[in-house]
A and B are shown apart, each in its own frame.
Chain A
Amino acid sequence: MNVLEFLGRINPVAASGAVLVLVGLWGVLARPNLFKIAVAFSVLETGVNLVILSVGYIRGRTAPILDSAADAATAAQRMTDPVPQALVLTAIVIGLAVTALMLSYAVRMRTGGGGSSIESYGDEKW
């Protein structure tokens, strides 16, 4: 029963986000393929975003948008933390830009004759 109680207390979004971060980190460190490294970065970013979002979540509260569920007077009592959501909104866009740039560098390196494996570039990766 204790284990179940402990598991019930963990925020599922934070837990899955942490798993994605670890998978992405492993992909960045251990995969040799440039395109897979770019994909691993995307997975890592998604995980980080989920963890940041879950930190601002407050159980039983509604989204930070004023409507019938929470008006201006009760906003601070009924809404979740809006700051992490604003930060993640920025992070997603920057992540997209970085991914596009990484992929174009990978394409350039491959068409430059180096292949898609990072091991064909000498000592860039041990």
Chain B
Amino acid sequence: MRAPHEIILETLTLRHGQVAAVFGVTGSFPPGSLTAIVGPNGAGKTTLLHALVGLHKVFTGRIYRGDLGRADIALLPQASQLDRSFPLTCLETVAMGHWGRVGPWRAVAPAQIAASRRALGEVGLEALAANPIGRLSAGQFQRVLVARLLVQDAPVLLLDEPFNAVDASTAQLIEGLILRWHEEGRTVIAVLHDMDLVRRLFPTTLLLAKVQVDWGPTERVLSAANRDQARAFSDQWSMPPWTDGAAPPAAAVRAQGDAVVPSAARSGAA
């Protein structure tokens, strides 16, 4: 008896080629939940986000998405991954958000153009609709991507480092939108680095270090002990055997995975 829109992970393991990226993550994102994913660099946070939206193949374990369809899970990508010299205007970029409704061939209706303009207005860029994205600052470009997310209007929103390299007012705007989405009952999952922000905004946190260190209420998850453990794991995988492309010490990862199962069980019970 799963509630609609719940996303459940069952001992999910993801790989990049031969290297383990995420190992044995178990837990759930209930509908309307607001979850931060934190962890050291290379902890598999982005990979996990990509797997949730179907961009990364599941190696073992399962992701249950209930009755969520493709268009119901929207991703805010890392802005730095996109080519900002691409000859598109702000409005064209935002209008991409209608893809799920118009597909490759249906015309974009005037109402959909208007909705795109409104979304640009919500992020304070209505005056720049016809501007090429190449002329935007990093913060403005992030706002355009957020406007595209608004147009997608999905019940589940995945944000990949939304506060990276943005100015203070853009950060404030995104913070306000996250709270609004939460009030609207949308599920919001964000990869973040700023622990103060996580504590302030996110009731639930998943601490990831390839393995699931802890997943539950933010205060408990971000305890000093948990964070020390995450750091210890990351020190292990930055040792030579992890970085030179050799086979992963799978046995070591498995041992760590077993060690943190109790915390996974705790979050399941929560």
Note whether A and B form a binding pair: no
Which residues of B does A touch, CB under 8 Å? none
Which residues of A does B touch, CB under 8 Å? none
